[in-house]
Amino acid sequence: MKTMTCRQFGGPCDLPHRGETADEVIAAQDKHLKEAEKAGDATHQEARDAMKGRWKRPKQSLGWYRDMKAAFAALPDD
């Protein structure tokens, strides 16, 4: 199990996301940003817009995805 924060994904807060894989924590960040947007949290809007853009253009976003997977892999286990 490893932990990455919203801030490590480019967001504005330190909410931790835990998972066994990078994909799990990326999905948790996506969910967090969706919930923040629904709650009207303007501080997360820039990160949410960036995440939505990545899901719409997956080929262009492979660099970000590889970077996040590498960052996750480099973390120590919790």
The tally of domains found in the chain comes to: 1
- Domain housing 34: 2-74
pLDDT at 22 exceeding the cut of 90: yes
pLDDT per residue as tens digits for the range 35-73: 999 999 999 999 999 988 887 887 878 989 999 999 999
14, 6 Cβ separation under 8 angstroms: yes
Token digits of residue 8: 């490590």
66, 57 Cβ separation under 8 angstroms: no
43, 2 Cβ separation under 8 angstroms: no
Q: Is the pTM value of this prediction over 0.95?
A: no
Tokens 């990545």 locate to: 54
Beta bridge partners of 16: 5
Q: Is 74 helix (H, G, I), strand (E, B) or coil?
A: helix
